[in-house]
Structure 1
């Protein structure tokens, strides 16, 4: 996929110099800073920050542990609810979740307690002699998990804790899902994502098979027949199309594909980097793409969105990151045409200005052309096709809501014994922290359903 950019020059500088641009977005707290920050917490009863956390972390309790110099205790409090507490401390939009709910978040205080940085401090500095959680006695049951991303691995870990055996099937060559392939490199630098997975797997009872793609060399019917339950943590692998002529031309590609290549690159200096780039989209992925291009040395990066700033799904914090990197943001412009040069390569895009009329987005007829050596689309993703609708198969029996799998309140799909969670289910916010919660809650539902069946089958 990134081969479509082969004609572009490589990033300027050396791998070592470029790597310095992809260190942590925010430096960690020192022990002294953590002590001072933890002292700001009021340890509220029925803390609003805890209620705002999708995984239900007892924020006040873990911060009190930090204040009392009990780092391991703080980390355990976090990991009990969110086994991906380390990565979520770095990538979670705390500014619209726990920190937004903090009672210190008012003008007189100036800022809320820095919960995300305190969570990172606890996880990064905890020194466990072994895995902090023990497996329950074996139930003799084995569950298949499809997808080794945050939802699938969170489900696998909780099932292992409950005494079940777990076999994870992953399409790629590494585990981690979005954390490994889809997060901006400056948010999860180095091999942090893999270290976190290794820690998670150290509980035991979980095995992973790679190169296994559902609907290709892995069939849901086989999993359903061979395992006591199946959890689908498929993510959203298919990038949506613009629907424009020239969309497959060299120089136009999905932002997520470039980000994945960037995260796996052994030599950043070898990456093709456009001098001028357009990023189409309004979410955090669009911001990640634009900022990383600037860090790689692109001269001019323009993010284009068809609505206004207030409608952008990227958080205000993310938008400020883009602005500090001198990313140009052009709102009220809808993609109209891909402009190609004489060799059939991208040379820019034509947009049509938009506006709201009676609450509806309409085109105005005014045309804008932006020159670019490459265009990256970050307009959302959908689920890849799992099955041929004309062929029989259990995949066809899954109910869908738009382009996601429909589940009930306990993450059960329409197929008995098959559960799903994370970005592939509706409703969903496409947040890592929410995917972790889905996996955890689905594991509890699987466990309870399996025990209920066993009790029903037991002779009276």
Structure 2
């Protein structure tokens, strides 16, 4: 558990059952049929579509919106899935406000873009609810590919390879597939077990076997995969959590935000998730925002997010920052942690103000806290990997690594911007390159 009775002030069940239901309801209500038609009617169907260029998976956005407008949402969904087989999840979690919707002509002209994300969800939900899988697997090629990691990159890669007739085995260290989508995204962004249902729907293409509780380096090695398969794709993600590097960091109550979000997502009941009274989250990305907002929604009285740079340098979008503020999260910028105080258990955390160059100013302050979540980035932890560039696997534009027959994509690979949609694009493109390589 993230917190228990041995950590004073950190308890479960702070709210009523009705509060949990209300607080963790769907962040964005889906469009009904009439709302979807009205939203689709606002699209100009631009021939040079800047929204399409802004989409990492290059979905033909004007086409799928036109298909919705003409009453064929299933066709619209297939247009989406042709480029992004995880289009249902991306419609829920993509920062559309800084991607396709920011590029929308309506946004530039009126300050109000077409609701591309909600329209994408409308179409994909309809097709997935029908139980129909829009793609057919090609005849078996006899080729076998190992995919390590059942996150967005690995799933997208596996699906595209299966479409081409290859047999794919996915190895994943977790007890269930989904990766970031299943374990690392705020509960209010993807409700009702959608991530699990999406994996089940995706694998209906056939030719994909998933082996859970299988970790690279513990249960098998990369050389073994290279010997046993025709190709290997690495989508292992970033399992390590960066340390604060300050005195007192290992006191009880100082935890990583990724583990907190994972525990919350897998909890049988939200009232079983313990949360502190005074919570501090350190970081400025989407994980930090997700942890801070959910701490507040679980019943924490005071939640403070502290980031070492200014707001304009936060990786979290302005929408996410505003969401946190609207839920009662206080955001302090230009401050770095210097020490954790307490007799075995965290009681205060000390920060020092910094200027825009991260130079300490000498001015410090303390925040009373009984729970601290670290969200200052994750690290790649695995042995025997291909050549690294910094702390990630070096890859070509199509995902090829320094090892022959080994590709990589997603958060573990160099490049991209650590988004679900980017991971999908990298997995898909690597699959096409693997297919071309295997078939000559």
Q: TM-score range by the shorter chain?
A: over 0.9
Shift of 1:11: 3.0
For structure 1, which runs of at least 5 residues remain unmatched after alignment? 388-394, 453-460
Q: What is aligned with 2:345?
A: 345
Q: Secondary structure at 1:303's aligned position in 2? A: strand
User: Does the CA-based 8 Å contact 1:82-1:437 persist in structure 2?
Assistant: yes
- Specify which of 358, 362, 366 is matched with residue 365 of structure 1: 362
Go from structure 1 to structure 2 and tell me whether the alpha carbon gap of 1:16 and 1:273 turns closer, same or farther (over 3 Å shift).
same
Tell whether 2:308 aligns with 1:306.
Answer: yes
Question: 2: distance between equivalents of 1:128 and 1:417?
Answer: 38
Tell whether 2:276 aligns with 1:279.
Answer: no
- Cα-to-partner distance string for 1:126-149 (whole Å, 9 max, x where unaligned): 254531100111110010000000
Tell whether 2:45 aligns with 1:43.
Answer: yes
- Cα-to-partner distance string for 1:258-301 (whole Å, 9 max, x where unaligned): 00000000021121110001000000110000000110010100
Segment drifting more, 66-75 vs 121-130: 121-130
Question: 2: distance between equivalents of 1:261 and 1:5?
Answer: 17
Q: What is aligned with 1:295?
A: 297
In the alignment of these two chains, the number of paired residues is 437
User: Does the CA-based 8 Å contact 1:4-1:253 persist in structure 2?
Assistant: no
Tell whether 2:391 aligns with 1:406.
Answer: no
- Specify which of 244, 249, 252 is matched with residue 254 of structure 2: 252
Q: What is aligned with 2:375?
A: 378
Segment drifting more, 252-261 vs 117-126: 117-126
Moved over 2 A (4+): 1-7, 13-17, 126-130
- Specify which of 214, 225, 234 is matched with residue 236 of structure 2: 234
Question: 1: distance between equivalents of 2:334 and 2:130?
Answer: 51
- Specify which of 409, 413, 418 is matched with residue 421 of structure 1: 409
For structure 2, which runs of at least 5 residues remain unmatched after alignment? none
Question: 2: distance between equivalents of 1:439 and 1:5?
Answer: 43
Q: What is aligned with 1:141?
A: 143
Matches within 5 A, 1:2-401: 2=2, 6-7=6-7, 8-15=10-17, 17-106=19-108, 109-126=110-127, 128=130, 130-340=132-342, 342=343, 344-356=344-356, 360-384=357-381, 386-387=382-383, 395=384, 398-401=386-389
Shift of 1:444: 0.2
Give TM-score, length-normalised by structure 1: 0.93
Go from structure 1 to structure 2 and tell me whether the alpha carbon gap of 1:5 and 1:292 turns closer, same or farther (over 3 Å shift).
farther
Shift of 1:124: 1.2
User: Does the CA-based 8 Å contact 1:228-1:417 persist in structure 2?
Assistant: yes
- Cα-to-partner distance string for 1:102-136 (whole Å, 9 max, x where unaligned): 01113x52401010000001111225453110011
Q: What is aligned with 1:439?
A: 427
Q: Secondary structure at 1:248's aligned position in 2? A: coil
Q: Secondary structure at 1:346's aligned position in 2? A: coil
Shift of 1:19: 3.1
